């Protein structure tokens, strides 16, 4: 499709590809050995063709045939490197209990991680989202504003909203180390008598705590303590 197989790649592009490989690894499509191998090849890749090879057997998940790397000019009007329009399409899970705008935010982040979206891509136009999902436009605007606050997107007046950053990539050794620590914690929790649902509940509660602490709101530890109460 692309005749740019021979073009040289930058460090940013290598990092982006590593991140995408990490997503596939977390999803279970690659095992540890394959993952290590491919990341190594990504870091030493010279051309776009090299990078594209790494995803050759991952495309049946629906990911593009290769990472569609940003063109030099960053995309002209109406869409980014994937051509006119947005590469992604939103969906809505009405029963999930998660607020609509958050679902949209998560879907964008998820798409970024998996490579459906890259730098310069355009998010679906507000009107198109409204027409296909029948949701309030303010919800879409809220989601896009949230993404902008997170620094992931930027709005271009008259044109739309575009991806301007990828999600921060964790360096490879740290990722492996975190995984190992997590496995250790799981073993300990199992030894303490927690079942899998209990582990998920504990993790979710701690995550919420962490989030609230990080965004500065106060919860007087009641949530965490009653979680352990409830579980025991």
Partner 1 sequence: MTALTMPARPEQDASLRPVPWRRMAWVTWRQHRFALAGVAALLGALAAWLWLEGLHAHHAYAVAADCHPASSGACGNLVGYFLTYVSTAQTIAIVLQAVPALIGAFVGAPVLAREMETGTFRYAWTQGFGRWRWTLAKLVPLAIAVAAAAGAFSVLFSWYYQPFLTQTVSFNFQVPLDSGLFDLRGVAFAAWTLAAFAIGALAGMLIRRVVTALAATLAVYTGLALAVGLYLREHYLTPLLVKNASPPASAWVIGQQWYARGGQPVSQSTLGQVLQTAPQLAGGKGGIPQDDPTVNQYLVQHGYTLWTTYQPGSRFWPFQWIEGGWLLALSVLLIAATVWLVRRRAA
Partner 2 sequence: MNVVEASGLGKRYGGTWALRECTLAIPAGHVAALVGPNGAGKTTLLNLAVGLAAPSAGAVTVLGGRPAGSPAALDGIGFVAQDTPLYKNLSVADMLHVTRNLNRRFDQPYAQARLAELGIPLKRKAGKLSGGQQAQLALTLALARRPRLLVLDEPVAMLDPIARHDFMALVLTATVDDGVSVLLSSHVLTELERVADYLILLSRGRVQMAGEVDDLLASHRVLTGPAAEAGRYAERPVVHVRRGEAQAHLLVRAGPDDPVPPGWEAHPVGLEELALAYLREPGAAALPGPARGQALPLDTGEPSEVTR
Binding mask 132-151 for partner 2 (x = CB under 8 A): xxxxxxxx------------
Q: Please, which residues have CB within 8 angstroms of residue 229's CB and are 6 or more apart in sequence?
A: none
Question: Which parts of 104-133 interact with partner 2 (CB under 8 A)?
Answer: 126-127, 130-133
With CB under 5 to 8 Å by kind, the binding choice for 145 among partner 2, partner 1, none is partner 1
Residues 145-174 that bind partner 1 (CB under 8 A): 145
In what helix (H) or strand (E) does residue 22 lie, and over which residues does it extend? helix 11-27
Burial 81-94 (b: 16+ CB within 10 A, else e): bbeeebbbebebee
**What are the φ and ψ backbone dihedral angles of 9, each rounded to 5 degrees?**
-110, 160
Report the SS3 class of residue 15.
helix
Residue number, 39 or 129, with CB nearest to partner 2: 129
Q: Applying CB under 8 A, which part among 29-37, 41-49, 77-85, 139-147 lies near partner 1?
A: 139-147
| DSSP code, position 58 | S
Q: Judged by CB under 8 A, how many residues of this single chain contact partner 1?
A: 5
| Residue 113: CB atoms within 10 Å | 19
Does 86 bind partner 2 (CB under 8 A)? Our answer is: no
Candidate segments 5-13, 32-40, 66-74, 93-101, binder of partner 2 by CB under 8 A: 93-101
Question: Cβ distance 21 to 39 under 8 Å?
Answer: yes
- What residues numbered 192-221 form the site for partner 2, per CB under 8 A? 217-221
Name the CA radius of gyration of the chain, rounded.
20
Paired with 228 in beta bridges are none
Among 53, 92, 109, 141, binds partner 1 (CB under 8 A): 141
Could you count the other beta carbons within 10 Å of the beta carbon of residue 25? 19
Q: Which residues are at the interface with partner 2 (CB under 8 A)?
A: 92, 94, 97, 100, 126-127, 130-139, 217-223, 225-226, 228-229
């Amino acid at each position: 499709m692309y005749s740019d197989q021979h073009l040289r790649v930058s460090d940013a592009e290598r990092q982006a590809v590593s991140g995408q490989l990490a997503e596939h690894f977390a999803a279970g499509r690659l095992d540890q050995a394959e993952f290590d191998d491919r990341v190594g090849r990504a870091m030493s890749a010279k051309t776009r063709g090299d990078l594209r090879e790494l995803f050759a057997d991952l495309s049946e998940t629906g990911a593009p045939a290769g990472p569609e790397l940003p063109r030099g000019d960053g995309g002209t009007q109406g869409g980014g490197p994937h051509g006119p329009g947005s590469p992604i399409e939103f969906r809505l899970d009405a029963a999930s209990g998660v607020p609509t705008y958050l679902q949209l935010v998560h879907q964008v982040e998820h798409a970024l991680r998996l490579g459906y979206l890259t730098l310069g891509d355009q998010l679906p136009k507000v009107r198109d989202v409204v027409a296909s999902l029948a949701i309030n436009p303010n919800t879409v605007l809220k989601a896009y504003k949230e993404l902008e606050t997170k620094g992931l997107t930027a709005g271009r007046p008259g044109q739309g909203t575009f991806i301007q950053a990828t999600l921060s990539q964790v360096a490879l050794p740290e990722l492996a180390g975190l995984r190992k620590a997590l496995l250790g914690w799981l073993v300990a929790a199992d030894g303490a008598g927690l079942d899998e649902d209990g582990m998920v509940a504990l993790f979710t509660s701690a995550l919420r705590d962490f989030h609230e602490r990080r965004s500065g709101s106060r919860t007087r530890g009641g949530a965490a303590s009653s979680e352990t109460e409830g579980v025991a």
